[in-house]
Structure 1
Amino acid sequence: MNNPSSRTVRAGLTAGAVALLASACGGSGSTGASGPKDFSYLSVTENTTVKTALGTLSKDACKAQNKALPLKVETVPQSGLDQKLQLLAGQDALPVQFAAGNAPSLTQQLFKSGKVADLEKELKDLGVLDQLEPAAVSTIKALYGGKVEVLPYEYNIEGIFYNKKLFAENDITVPATWDELVAAAAKLNTKKIQPFSASGQQGWPITRLVSTYLYRSLGPEALQAVADGKAKLTDPEYVEAAQAVADLGKKNYFGKGVGSIDYDTAMNQFLGGKAGMFYMGSWALANIADAKQNKVGAENVGFMPFPAVAGGKGSVDQYPSNVGLGIGLGAKTFDKKTGDWVSCIAKNYGSTALKDHGTISGFKVNTPVEDSTAVTTQVRETVSASKQNVLWFEALFSTKATTVSQTNAAGLATGSMSPQDFMQTVQDALSAQ
């Protein structure tokens, strides 16, 4: 989804939800004795891209599949998605295809109870598993306990967008290390140019700097170790990451009033040429390609990976990534007609989404599509070349810990909260899970 907040993983299942899933009763929704009567798809109201792209496929590349199993779309507000899925699962009436829950834990519970299809097996049997980008598969498995439980109708990687013109005018080369990044920020700052644009109000653009620093310094398992109880955010090497980000704020590299800056304002600061760098996900490509929003010109925007940390165990080609709201398929309704639809989607969705919507999915682009900008081409090539990706700071957190992290991020950036206190506060919330 183009709503960044949809990318933040929410809560796990409540005891009541688990009980509801366990008490599945009879009934099969639109599924008859001969299989599903339609290619039913439960979407979220806020996301129009996927259902529109599927509609296009149903009239074009997947016309035959749609004739055999007509596409039928139902929508529900994202805030009500989890409850809707739990209700349908309890009635044994999940649709053929559905937007996965806001938290991976919901989909994992449905999978373990036999209600969600094992898509790695199904795609392999259909001969189309190779139509998923390896990086997307890596991300899905990281989120869903090593299983491919959803399809990546959306795929985003994160990194630092930068103003190529400002870099050239100030003799700045693309930083390869954290020290070089700090030096570049210092040079911009001396020229009265804000080094970084960021939303302290959202919080997550700040915390993702912390997590990516951790992935570069400690390696790709840094936050999994915290989730597993093998490490704590209060350990010295973890606090070091928060300190590095706090140091940027202490030098005013995020500009004035970062704590009150919202997402749109941060985006406009960068696209208006008022900031040299902007840590963000590839969903920003749509904004970058929009001439009305982008005052610096798409040709003047570059993309670089988060730099290496001296002596670190991580690699710069391990990009933080997500699949937005992945799409799951019901296990009981995955018959031959459903398989035909999924095969067609796997082969054609990537091209349709890119051509019609300018969005990057986790499917390969098999039909040549002319990118709107050079930076879009760069990101697409980066996605295709990437083999192992990492998650984001709150990906494995509970709702409470996520809220605590993001609401206190501004304090870390402005200096009103010390790195030690920030990490302690979040760790306390994690320990209370």
Structure 2
Amino acid sequence: MRSTSSTNRTRTTVRTAAVVAAGALALSLTACGGSDNKSDSGKSSTPSESTGTVTLPKLNGQSLEVAAVWTGAEQKNFKTVLAEFEKRTGAKVTFVPAQDPIINFLGSKIAGGQPPDIAMLPQPGAIKQAVDKKWAKPLGPEALAELQKNYSQGWQDIGKVGGKQYGVYYKAANKSLIWYNAKVFANAGAKEPKTWQELLTTAQTVYDSGVTPFSIAGADGWPLTDWFENVYLSQAGPEKYDELAQHKIKWTDPSVKEALTTLAQIWGKKAYIAGGQNGALQTEFPASVTQTFTGGDQPKSAMVYEGDFVQVNIGETKAKVGTDAKVFPFPTVGSTAPVVSGGDAAVILKDSKAAQALATFLASPDAATIQAKLGGYLSPNKNVPDSAYPNAVQRTIAKSLIAAGDDFRFDMSDQAPQSFGGTPGKGEWKDLQDFLKNPTDIAGTQAQLEKDAAAAYASGS
């Protein structure tokens, strides 16, 4: 997952039926209710400021650094959350912009003796690496209690390593969505598709109306892995998905061939992609979104695939979510619709009263509610009120995430070692970019994916 970050995981057991139900709920755009869920007040033995639902200690004069691969509106909105923590505690918090892969960035900071107090890690694999390198510190009792009160067991488990809790999944993503320009669909007479075959029909209908169907962010490798994961999960099923995520089956497996063949039905049609394959490989994620919703009823593309966080980028255009910019679930390729999740976890690198307090705050509904109101954000915290989300689309997506409980599949590439699943210009990101460039070379793509995966899993990094 990544938005400007990526997203993440270890693994949690999943059941498909609940996932499918959640997927259907996620995109019923008429749902817009809000509940006033509230968590119980937290307890702390230290002198504290008790505004909100969580109790925080006084930290006057103390300073913290928080590192994340977040830019633009995402970074700005998170800084608003940090400002509230400063107001309540008296601490001073500095946001440190990190580069991908964040594990390498942290390694250089730690080698220089200047690690941040907390890092927002976008992969369970990255959390494990931080623990293995003895960088990460376990959550203390206050943060742990807040996490257990507000999160389902599944979201707690993906932040654990060796049975100990290291991560607070502050941010989540529903990565099984396709956003579309409503004016283009209306002009073309196109309908929201429910199956992959219907998606191809819709694409042709849009193309016949004079608009290129898809915008693909090929310059960033991570959206390509998300495309693959949705097709693979729906087509091969959750058991195979888990096996491939853990490299218990090889990338040369026939199920991978089938998924790549399916993807090529879109990736292999130059006329279906804004700028063709070469143009897509030069299109970064933010531009893939904005070019779909600028240009009136003649934009560069009609549809763009990615998660709920797309709304941040839509907000940079004049399009209104729910009116000009609409969304439907990623279509069913096999027997069930896919629901792929991602997220970013807060992990403590310098154990202190201040760092533990910030982790506690980030595990609370208070912090998540602040960012939810600003838009383009989704929290797995079950005690964030639905009414905090600023529009009907976002409220519905958030409700579906909470309704799924422990029944979700985490982003496959985020579960892999970083060198395979989370590094620009390497591993799966690069291999799928090469496949987008030449979608006829399915066997060659499988062979390269397996070679890179085998090396990464063998080294564990």
TM, length-normalised to structure 1: 0.74
Instruction: State the partner residue of 2:5.
Output: 6
Instruction: State the partner residue of 2:292.
Output: 270
Instruction: State the partner residue of 1:52.
Output: 80
Matched, 1:321 2:341: yes
Moved more, 170-179 or 110-119: 110-119
Alignment partner of 2:308 out of 282, 286, 297: 282
Report the AA paired with residue 341 of structure 2. S
Give distance in 2, aligned partners of 1:242 and 1:145: 35
Q: How does 1:349-388 map to 2 (within 5 A)?
A: 349-356=367-374, 358-364=376-382, 366=384, 369=387, 371-387=389-405, 388=407
Alignment partner of 1:253 out of 253, 272, 277: 272
Alignment partner of 2:326 out of 289, 297, 302: 302
Give % identity.
20
Give distance in 2, aligned partners of 1:135 and 1:304: 25
Residue-by-residue CA offset, 1:257-284 (whole Å, 9 max, x unaligned):
2333312432232112442321112221
Give distance in 1, aligned partners of 2:215 and 2:128: 36
Moved more, 274-283 or 412-421: 412-421
Instruction: State the partner residue of 1:15.
Output: none
Give distance in 1, aligned partners of 2:386 and 2:439: 51
Contact 1:351 / 1:369 at 8 angstroms: preserved in 2? no
Cα 1:176/1:260, change in 2 over 3 Å: same
Give distance in 2, aligned partners of 1:208 and 1:42: 27
Shift, 1:160, TM fit: 1.1
Instruction: State the partner residue of 2:96.
Output: 75
Report the AA paired with residue 410 of structure 2. L
Give distance in 1, aligned partners of 2:368 and 2:204: 40
User: 4+ residue runs of structure 1 moved beyond 6 angstroms?
Assistant: 87-95
Contact 1:351 / 1:368 at 8 angstroms: preserved in 2? no
Report the AA paired with residue 187 of structure 1. T
Q: How does 1:107-126 map to 2 (within 5 A)?
A: 107-111=127-131, 116-119=136-139, 123=143, 126=145
Give distance in 1, aligned partners of 2:302 and 2:141: 45
Alignment partner of 1:211 out of 212, 216, 229: 229
Contact 2:64 / 2:355 at 8 angstroms: preserved in 1? no
Segments of 5+ residues of structure 2 without an aligned counterpart are 10-58, 457-461
Shift, 1:214, TM fit: 0.8
Give distance in 2, aligned partners of 1:308 and 1:408: 25
Alignment partner of 2:182 out of 155, 158, 164: 164
Shift, 1:116, TM fit: 3.7
Report the AA paired with residue 81 of structure 2. A
Q: How does 1:23-38 map to 2 (within 5 A)?
A: 38=62
Shift, 1:177, TM fit: 1.8
Shift, 1:185, TM fit: 1.6
Residue-by-residue CA offset, 1:222-252 (whole Å, 9 max, x unaligned):
3442354421111111111011111113333
Instruction: State the partner residue of 1:407.
Output: 430
Give distance in 2, aligned partners of 1:255 and 1:284: 18
Give distance in 1, aligned partners of 2:358 and 2:322: 36
Shift, 1:288, TM fit: 1.9
Cα 1:269/1:428, change in 2 over 3 Å: same
Instruction: State the partner residue of 2:191.
Output: 173
Give distance in 2, aligned partners of 1:211 and 1:415: 19
Shift, 1:360, TM fit: 2.8
Report the AA paired with residue 348 of structure 2. L
Alignment partner of 2:254 out of 231, 236, 239: 236
Instruction: State the partner residue of 1:149.
Output: 166
Instruction: State the partner residue of 1:132.
Output: 151
Q: Give the SS at the match of 2:306.
A: strand
Moved more, 99-108 or 150-159: 99-108
Report the AA paired with residue 195 of structure 1. P
Report the AA paired with residue 168 of structure 2. L
Give distance in 1, aligned partners of 2:430 and 2:287: 18
Q: Give the SS at the match of 2:323.
A: helix
Report the AA paired with residue 131 of structure 2. F
Matched, 1:389 2:411: no
Matched, 1:40 2:64: yes
Shift, 1:372, TM fit: 4.1
Instruction: State the partner residue of 1:427.
Output: 450
Q: Give the SS at the match of 2:288.
A: helix
Shift, 1:102, TM fit: 6.5
Report the AA paired with residue 302 of structure 1. K
RMSD of aligned C-alpha atoms?
3.9
Residue-by-residue CA offset, 1:365-393 (whole Å, 9 max, x unaligned):
64675644433233323333233332335
Contact 1:350 / 1:365 at 8 angstroms: preserved in 2? no
Residue-by-residue CA offset, 1:172-219 (whole Å, 9 max, x unaligned):
432222222222222222223222111222233233212211111222
Report the AA paired with residue 175 of structure 1. P
Moved more, 106-115 or 349-358: 106-115
Q: Give the SS at the match of 1:308.
A: coil
Residue-by-residue CA offset, 1:330-374 (whole Å, 9 max, x unaligned):
5853x6x76665544413011111224653333346467564443
